[in-house]
Amino acid sequence: MGEFEEKERISKAGRMLVAAIDFGTTYSGYAYSFKHDWATVQTNTWSGEQQVSYKAPTALLLNPDKSFKAFGFEAETFYSSLTSEDDDSCKEYYFFQRFKLILKTKLEERVHRNTECLDINGKSVDAMSVFMHCIEYLKSHMLEALNDSKGFEIKITDIDFVLTVPAIWDDTAKMFMREAAIKAGIPGDQLLFALEPEAASIYCQLMYLEPQNNSSFRITEKDSNAKYMVVDLGGGTADITVHQLKKDGTLAELVPASGGAWGGTCVDQAFQDFLVELLGEDVMRIFKMDPEYVEDYFDFWQTFEIKKRSFETSKKETFLLRLPVGLADIVADKMNKKGNITNKSKQEMTSDIIMQEVIRNSRFKDELNFEHGKLQMKYAFFKQMFDPTVKLLTDHLSKLNKDIGEDLKVILMVGGFSECSIVQEAVREVFRDKCRVVIPNQAGLAVLKGAVYFGHQPYLISERVARYTYGIQTWPKFDKAVHKTSKFVMMEEEERCRDVFFRFIAKGERIKPGDKKSYIFNALKPGERALECGVFISTEEDPQYVDEKGCVKLGVLEVPLQSVRLDGKLEIEESLIFGHTELQVTACNCHNKKEYKVTFDLLSPEINFPDK
């Protein structure tokens, strides 16, 4: 056993156990392990009417007063039961699905505390409470399961929590999730974030320690400097990092995390668009919104998710999917209203006959068939629904591979969407004869289990790469040889240049956890109650001014000065600490080294919408 392997077996957690919550676009779950046996990760099993899963649907139902009602399969089942009643009481409730993606928007349109989340009927609730209810449920469900299975009481104070977030999220989205988690009852000093592809990478690196894991994949210290890519394909996004194993056994990120909205829901949308064209937009709207069919609607998409992942490309077989009888009934009603069939013939027509008639009159007649209640799609036609998303993914991976060089050894595919053989085959084709493509056992749980490992072994990621350039707004002395004349201002009888971007970290720069960058500010006015500093990020490597294209205000760093005596010039060192999964800030008095309580607000609506 090597020196690093011996260290691996010692948990660095500060409490009895580590619990991870994987908050996904389509499915969510939790897992945990105890400090004394940290490699044995335990997950929960969730049961729906038609499936058993290690994760529950990310579905939330709120009461008419916006209080919590149900989550997961229970939320779908209860909402379906509401819709089966004759009145419209279901519309008084709030039902949410696939809302996580509201946290990943353009830099200029980031989430804030007043962000709203729309439910299935278009009614809005503040997004913070929606996320809070989901996290609170998963936390409480885990605590209840733990205490039911153990012979002693486990409290919140016994747990280090880890919450997973995409690596491509910015600091604002992470702060939003932190506030939601704290509102959900998780103490802030017990909460750590794990970047999803990093968690998957750690799991794949250490899964040989897990009891009964027979995976053959392992990179050891003998392979030091080996490069491998982690492709985390979830429901909403593809999240990609490239890691290198260092001689000390830790992992270094080589390029900034990247990705896009190339998850499994893109295929769902393509299939939805196909059904709209085949059956009609009004038919699909009724199928989704009419209380009579809501239960069928949920069951249909759960079945599609299972069939989509398990579809085998090697056999080039026909894709079969059972359609609910209710869907054929809606189509028949539509045909009846148009005069295509009479009420009598409608009663005599089976769902097979109705759907066969629809297919014959569509442009898909050569690609589809319908028998015994099942829609039959030719392999090549079904595969087309994956093509746009898969092409975006593989084009991006090809470019990354060129940027990295020829010594990439392994592609690790994790996440629920990576279980789909169509996606696996496309990625293997891109990297054929170049490197090995590995899909670990239970690829859909790699992020969740890896997040637990990260809570025990946070030092394993020893180097990251900045996704943005970080800096602050400064007002240096004006230099006409350097500065734009339009930026000239007079401050305290001095010639100054406004809006200058003082760079701390450049995009693409390698950073270690704890890297500290500081700037000394002077409190110039005796009456100042607080010292404020705007923190900015940019997609450019070396911006000059904070109002350039690609540059946005990340947040405001505020140091309260009410209790400080200003006998002379007060110098305060404000510092940003990089390299962790979250940006950290500190401030201290340069003369007496006293630290100040700093507020670093990224979620104020005024930051994101300064003109409103």
Residues 128 and 242 in one domain: yes
d(CA 21, CA 449): 10
DSSP string, 11-60: ---SSSEEEEEE--SSEEEEEEEEGGGTT--EE--EE-SS-EESSEE-EE
Does residue 299 sit in the same domain as residue 319? yes
User: Residues 47-90: pLDDT tens digits?
Assistant: 876 677 899 999 999 999 999 999 999 999 898 888 766 556 77
Task: Give percent above pLDDT 90 in the chain.
Answer: 54
570 pLDDT higher than 80 = no
Q: What is the pLDDT of residue 175?
A: 94
Beta strands at 159-165 and 116-118: parallel, antiparallel or unpaired: unpaired
Please give the single-letter amino acid code of residue 333. Answer: D
Alpha carbons 371 and 291: distance in angstroms, whole number: 27
Q: Where would I find the H helices in 247-378?
A: 264-279, 281-289, 294-310, 325-337, 343-348, 351-360
Each residue of 411-441: pLDDT tens digit? Answer: 999 998 998 999 999 999 988 878 889 998 8
What is the rounded distance in angstroms from the CA atom of residue 578 to the CA atom of residue 516? 6
Asked if 65 and 203 sit in the same domain, the reply is yes
Kindly tell me if the per-residue pLDDT of 345 is higher than 80.
no
Residue 523's pLDDT band (boundaries 50, 70, 90)? low
Domain finish residue from 415, 430, 464: 464
For residue 596, what are the CA distances in angstroms to 414, 473, 515, 560?
43, 20, 20, 8
**pLDDT at residue 6 in the model:** 45
Residue-wise pLDDT tens digits, 307-321: 888 877 766 778 999
Looking at the structure, tell me whether residues 454 and 475 fall in a common domain. Answer: no
Q: Are residues 192 and 293 in the same domain?
A: no
Instruction: Answer whether residue 341 shows pLDDT above 80.
Output: no
CB burial of 543-571 (b: ≥16 within 10 Å; e: otherwise) equals bbbbeeeebbbbbbbbbebeebeeeeebe
Are 206 and 183 contained in the same domain?
Answer: yes
pLDDT number for residue 80 = 84
Residue 502 and residue 517 in contact, taking contact as beta carbons nearer than 8 Å = no
Low-confidence winner among 57-61, 341-345, 465-469, 498-502 (lowest mean pLDDT): 341-345
Mean pLDDT for the stretch of residues 101-113? 78
Spatial contact of 505 and 469, defined as CB atoms under 8 Å apart: yes
Task: Reply yes or no on whether the pLDDT at 464 is more than 90.
Answer: yes
Exposed/middle/buried for residue 3 (C-beta within 10 Å: 0-12, 13-18, 19+): exposed
Q: Check: CB of residue 108 under 8 Å from CB of residue 551.
A: no
DSSP 8-state code for residue 36: G
In total, how many domains does the chain have?
Answer: 3
Residue 425 CB coordination number (10 Å): 15
d(Cα 407, Cα 401) in Å, to the nearest integer?
9
Chosen domain end from 364, 383, 402: 383
- Which of 221-225, 383-387, 472-476 is predicted least confidently? 221-225
Specify which of 102-106, 158-162, 480-484, 571-575 reaches the highest per-range mean pLDDT: 158-162
Best CA proximity match to 511, nearest among 467, 544, 453, 473 = 467
Say if strands 116-118 and 94-97 run parallel, antiparallel, or are unpaired.
unpaired
Structure tokens at 348: 């005599």
CA 547 to chain CA centroid, Å, is 29
**What average pLDDT score do residues 447-476 get?**
94
Residue 591: predicted pLDDT: 77
- Domain boundary residue, one of 441, 464, 487: 464
Mean pLDDT of 193-209: 91
Q: Are residues 295 and 375 in the same domain?
A: yes
| Mean pLDDT value across the chain | 87
pLDDT band at 569 (very low <50, low <70, confident <90, very high): low
Domain at 140, CATH number:
3.30.420.40
pLDDT at residue 3 above 60?
A: no
Mean pLDDT on 244-270: 90
Assigned token pair, 33: 């392990």
The identity of residue 305, as a single letter, is: E
pLDDT digit string, tens, across residues 140-167: 999 999 998 877 789 999 999 999 999 9
Query: Are residues 221 and 305 both part of a single domain?
Result: no
- What is the per-residue pLDDT for 544? 95
Please check whether residues 482 and 458 belong to one and the same domain.
no
Task: State the pLDDT confidence band at 611, using cuts at 50, 70 and 90.
Answer: very low
The whole-number average pLDDT for the span 175-190 is 96
Give me the pLDDT at residue 209, please.
85
This prediction has a pTM of 0.89
Q: Residue 9: which pLDDT band, with cuts at 50, 70 and 90?
A: low
Lowest mean pLDDT among 146-150, 172-176, 410-414, 559-563: 559-563
Residues 199 and 90 in one domain: yes
Give residue 233's pLDDT band: very low, low, confident or very high (50, 70, 90).
Answer: very high
Helix (H) or strand (E) holding 161: strand 159-165
Residue 365 CA from chain centroid, whole number: 39
| pLDDT value for 1 | 36
pLDDT for position 236? 87
* pLDDT of res. 332: 85
Q: Are residues 294 and 316 in the same domain?
A: yes
Please tell me whether residues 39 and 181 are part of one structural domain. Answer: yes
CA–CA separation, 358 and 365 (whole Å) = 9
Domain housing 589? 466-608
By percentage, how much of the chain surpasses pLDDT 70?
Answer: 89
Q: How confident is the model at residue 245 (pLDDT cuts 50, 70, 90)?
A: confident
pLDDT band at 491 (very low <50, low <70, confident <90, very high): confident
